């Protein structure tokens, strides 16, 4: 058993810990982690690892350290649960480890929920594991894109859904920070299908040409040019989490700003300090995807929600394959280099890491 650990109070400190073999007991299954994607989304999990989000609690380890949650593929190595068969490949929420011990419950239709006691109080959206043979998202040729973008797209689909449900897509431009980030692009893609939506992408000067080439935003503006935008009713969706950018947008639009959502922290080292309710305009609200999943699960049923997201996912995945290059890496050094690369913002927007620890 090997685990890639990150120090909770200093995200740049990492180490590899090895322990003895793990065997499943009654009601348990052992998953062999095959591979996982690593993007700025995972940095967000680390930044919000403690309360109230508690991402560190999904995969506990020794005090002061954490296993950053990833999304990827695993194979059932051993099982003491009927219906969870060895050698079945699964997609789901995984630690950067060689194995994950789970307590499968609600086993049906090639899927199960991890009912481990330590996960009971955590958001249920992260508990489900799906066999590739029964997964509407799965296509063998797009595994890398699934690891990198599928969880981001699920979140982005829900953001698009809420903006439309709240009537904001028809009430002025949607201003999106960190416009070159994977989650921002995954949000802009379904929004771009809506004829009433007008999208403004905020990005760095170095990424501006790349974002413009994608053709998904009606307008692309460098951060230092925010004041050039018309002062009109607008909605801000913040994937950067940069204090200066947040202040600039709120100050520019002021009372005309209809809503402000915080989604991620791609600029995690420039996070907004406390007291952000004093910003001009509406107080920023944190967009928490599991809450939206609960709502749409009630409205459409879990299967109905997944069907809608899968139908939107495949064209997005095909679009991304035209410009996104997966970067393979393996072993502790490969995972460490990739993690620090993402943490320090060194990954260009047209590349992303796909990793295996063993």
**Model confidence at 241: pLDDT above 90:** no
Domain-wise residue ranges, the chain: 2-135+324-356, 151-290
The dihedral through the CA atoms of 327, 332, 333, 336 has a sign that is positive
pLDDT for the residue 269: 47
Work out the average pLDDT over 244-271. Answer: 82
Spatial strand order in the sheet of 65-66: 10-18, 2-7, 65-66
Each residue's pLDDT tens digit, 77-105: 999 999 999 999 999 999 999 999 999 99
Least confident range from 24-28, 33-37, 174-178, 270-274: namely 270-274
CATH number of 2-135+324-356: 3.90.180.10
- Kindly report, residue by residue over 326-338, the tens digit of the pLDDT: 999 999 999 999 9
3-state SS string for the chain: CEEEEEECCEEEEEEEEECCCCCCCCCCEEEEEEEEEECHHHHHHHHCCCCCCCHHHHCCCCCCEECCCEEEEEEEEEECCCCCCCCCEEEEEECCECEEEECEEEEECCEEEECCHHHCCCCHHHCEEEEHHHCCCCCHHHHHHHHHHHHHHHHHHHHHHHHHHCCHHHCCCEEECCCCCHHHHHHHHHHHCCCCCCEEEEECHHHHHHHHHHCCCCEEEEHHHHHHCCCCCEEEEECCCCHHHHHHHHHHHHHHEEEEEECCCCCHHHCCCCCHHHCCCCCCEECCHHHHHHHHHHHHCHHHHHHHHHHHHHHHHHHHHCCCEEEEEEHHHHHHHHHHHHHCCCCCCCEEEEEECC
For range 16-32, the mean pLDDT: 94
- CATH fold for the domain made of 151-290: Rossmann fold (3.40.50)
Those residues whose C-beta lies under 8 Å from the C-beta of residue 114, and which sit 6 or more positions away, are 102, 103, 104, 105, 127, 128, 129
CA distance 30 to 77: 6
Short-list 39, 99, 69, 95, CA closest to 339: 39
CA 38, chain centre distance (Å):
10
C-alpha triplet 192, 165, 151: angle, nearest 5° = 60
Q: How far apart are CA 94 and CA 67, in angstroms?
A: 9
**Matching residue, tokens 């791609």:** 266
- Region 172-186: what's the mean pLDDT? 94
CA atoms of 271 and 266, how far apart (whole Å):
9
From 197, 199, 217, 198, select the one nearest 207 (Cα to Cα). 217
pLDDT at 264: 61
265-323 pLDDT, tens digit each: 554 444 444 444 479 999 999 888 888 988 998 999 988 998 999 999 999 999 999 99
What is the reported pLDDT for 20? 87
Neighbours of 329 (CB within 10 A): 20
Count of all residues that appear for the chain in the document: 358
């Amino acid at each position: 058993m090997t685990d890639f650990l990150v120090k909770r109070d200093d995200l740049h400190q990492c180490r590899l810990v090895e322990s003895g073999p793990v065997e499943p007991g009654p009601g348990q299954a052992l998953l062999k982690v095959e591979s996982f994607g690593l993007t700025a989304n995972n940095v967000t999990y680390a930044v919000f690892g403690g309360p109230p989000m508690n991402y560190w609690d999904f995969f506990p380890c020794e005090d002061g350290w954490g296993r950053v949650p990833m999304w990827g593929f695993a194979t059932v190595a051993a099982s003491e649960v009927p219906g969870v068969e060895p050698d079945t490949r699964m997609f789901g929420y995984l630690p950067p480890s060689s194995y994950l011990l789970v307590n499968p419950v609600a086993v049906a239709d090639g899927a199960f929920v991890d009912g481990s006691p330590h996960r009971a109080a955590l958001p249920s959206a992260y508990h489900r594991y799906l066999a590739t043979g029964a997964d509407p998202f799965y296509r063998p040729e797009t595994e890398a894109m699934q690891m990198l973008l599928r969880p981001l797209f699920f979140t982005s689909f829900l953001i698009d859904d809420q903006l439309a449900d709240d009537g904001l897509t028809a009430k002025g431009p949607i201003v999106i920070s960190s416009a070159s980030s994977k989650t921002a692009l995954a949000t802009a893609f379904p929004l771009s299908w809506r004829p009433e939506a007008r999208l403004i992408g905020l990005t760095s000067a170095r990424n501006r040409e790349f974002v413009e080439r994608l053709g998904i935003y009606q307008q692309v503006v460098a951060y230092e040019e925010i004041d050039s935008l018309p002062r009109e009713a607008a909605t801000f969706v913040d994937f950067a989490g940069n204090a200066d950018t947040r202040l600039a947008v709120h100050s520019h639009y002021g009372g005309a700003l209809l809503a402000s959502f915080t989604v991620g922290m791609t600029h995690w080292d420039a996070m907004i300090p406390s007291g952000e309710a004093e910003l001009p305009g509406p107080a920023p609200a944190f967009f928490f995807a599991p809450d939206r999943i609960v709502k749409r699960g009630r409205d459409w049923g879990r299967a109905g929600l997944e069907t809608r997201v899968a139908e939107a996912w495949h064209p997005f995945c095909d679009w991304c394959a035209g410009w996104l290059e997966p970067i393979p890496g393996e072993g502790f050094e490969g995972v460490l280099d990739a993690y620090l690369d993402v943490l320090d913002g060194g990954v260009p927007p047209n590349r992303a890491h796909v990793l295996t620890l063993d």
